[in-house]
Amino acid sequence: MFLKFSPDSVILFLLMLCRVLSLVMTLPVFGSERVLSVVRVGLGASLTLIAFMVFGPSVTSIPKDLAPLILAMIGEIFLGLAMGFTIRFAMEAVSFAGTMAGFQMGLTLANVIDPQTGAQVSLISNFLMLTASLIFLVSGLYQHFVQGIINSFMILAPGEAVLRVGGMDCFIQIGGEIFTNTVRVGAPWIIVLLLAKVGLGLMARTFPQMNVIFVAFPVTIALGLIVLAMSAPFVVAVIVTIFSEAEENFWLVLRSAMPG
């Protein structure tokens, strides 16, 4: 009955749109600041229409009064944002790892614009972010999340999301994985450049007349670029693993909002 144009179908579509649109706005690449808002809204509306046509007939009840409807819409928005941020956290871990690498290499003064957020980041961070975005698209991982947006209504019907303390704890725990994933991605630079800094410090103590600052810059930059080239397969494998874990967290957040 919801597929016909009626007040119930409009309310159902709006509830589904709240979840889908808030999720699309936080997706990597698709939710980038460089993508026009019209495109993002159109993508969210198209996915909502598909989900509405598929799962709309199976919805048996929707809130009729204004207060329950507003609460249901807020719940859908928060659920979509929480699910989307599980993926954004993976990208932020990659960006943070690049920022740490750029800081250790001495490239903090040479910043560029991050295409995802529009903020200024280091060269290495921007390179890793672009690499992660390409992996997200080329590997087909984006299809899993786009399908997950639609299939989420099969697990949790519109308007049934429940905001509870346990769900918030789950979300905070997932957010804490940013630091773990940062170390996993940036481990090659952290180890090599830390040893290089220790070696330069020992040289400064052994040869006080040597200007370590002028020696350190070319050495750390050269070592960082060498590590970047040699560890590329490792970094790509770690990024793919992080995205796979983000997909698991995607469904974990959804299940944490289920009633009961």
Residue-wise pLDDT for 165-210, tens only, equals 556 777 778 878 888 888 889 888 888 888 888 888 888 777 777 7
Sequence-ordered list of residues with C-beta below 8 angstroms from that of 152, at least 6 positions apart, any chain: 19, 83, 254
For residues 133-152, give the mean pLDDT. 84
Whole-angstrom distance, CA of residue 102 vs CA of residue 231:
15
Reported as a pLDDT band with limits 50, 70 and 90, residue 111 is low
Joined together, the tokens standing for residue 60 give 């048996």
| Cα dihedral sign, 95-99-100-104 | positive
- pLDDT(68) > 80: yes
- pLDDT(102) > 60: yes
For residues 71-80, give the mean pLDDT. 87
* C-beta separation of 56 from 12 below 8 A: yes
Whole-angstrom distance, CA of residue 23 vs CA of residue 85:
8
* C-beta separation of 212 from 203 below 8 A: yes
| Beta-strand relationship, 120-122 and 111-113 | antiparallel
| Residue 165 identity (one-letter amino acid) | V
Q: What is the pLDDT of residues 201-254, one digit of tens each?
A: 888 777 777 777 777 778 888 888 888 888 888 999 999 999 888 888 888 888
